[in-house]
Structure 1
Amino acid sequence: MKTLKTIFSLLTIGIFLISCSGDDGTNGPEGPAGVDGIDGTNGIDGNPVVFFSDWALTGTTKSETFNGVLGSTFIISAPELTQEILNKGVVLIYMQSLSSGKFSNMPLPLIESTGSKVFIHNFWPELGQITIYKFLLDGTTPTPVTASLKWRYVLIPGGTNVTGKKNVNKLDYSKMSYEQVCKLFNIAP
């Protein structure tokens, strides 16, 4: 009997709760507006602006001492190369040569061996220009930089990586292949 009384009480309470509705009354007056919250900082949109050149043939070369080493140099104009990029960004240079009937794109610095001679191709970025230089490890005067080689630069402003977050998971672009850099920044190879 006690069980029946408990079930009956629970059913009565359930029916009472189900039969109640909030539609019977009128809405009260609208309350005052709340206080505005503090604005958050705006994020950086997408990939940073990356500057890159067309492929260009070797310019006029000259023999000169560069950082105390006799070598062959030429200059690539890079008007987008700012002090900001020099201080905080990344400068990448690629050399394109025809080997085995196929173009290959190689990052600088590049060590090249021909017979008993070992050459180094490297670069020196400056405001508005990049000096490409070639020297022999034995200190003798190298032949000029080969005129049929092509060169391309990629300038990546600093402070922002491809995730759009400052200084988080910085990529080492210098360790990436040319193809990886092109894919990452949507550059036509």
Structure 2
Amino acid sequence: MVSNAREELLRWHTENANGNAKIIHATERCAGGIIQAIGHFSLGPNTSPRDTTDFSDYEMENVSAGGEIVKFFLFYERWRRAEVEHSELYLASVKADFDESGILVSPSGSEPSLYDTINGMRSCYGDKQGKNFRVWVDGVLPTKIGLDTWLVKFNKWELHGVEQQGCVTTCIINTKEEGASGATYIHVHETWLEGYGAQDQSTWLF
């Protein structure tokens, strides 16, 4: 029960559920109260990736194809905003999550290797520092296509100032490869969402 529950619900709790270990009265309001309950009853992760400053805190047993995608693009956003340290160790860790022979089919039709794309991140460190730049994904749909292999489809968005760019992305991810995070990107394919293609495609790296 969230902290800002209606008066009649609070009264019901006092009269009928006080001391019931299966019902808690959260200290947080609205969605925050629900997230608090998820943590209290150990129903799953109760920390937003955006609230995590060190992704190494994420435990390996919680590896999921969709979760790895969210984590990668948050790192990508922070890298370009210079909100993480400019470190070769960071890039080496990210690179370890990509298959050496993997290919990125970009929205423009070019097909660089995944390794070359990660290497290209060096030159864009901090290029969005102090600017209105955000990256997010939605509609994440993972489909298991093998013992440890997932086909994940999602929409990936970037906000550059007032211009919003978006593409449909399909990834093949192996969750038992020896990547730094426990998941390895095998292939990535991106196609512009209608009406959301980048005017300057040089700003779209990944």
TM-score bracket relative to the smaller structure: under 0.3
Identify the structure with the greater strand proportion: 1
- Say which one has the larger Rg: 1
Instruction: Identify the structure with bigger relative contact order (alpha carbons < 8 Å, sequence gap 6+).
Output: 1
Identify the structure with the greater helix proportion: 2
TM-score in terms of structure 2 length: 0.23
TM-score in terms of structure 1 length: 0.24
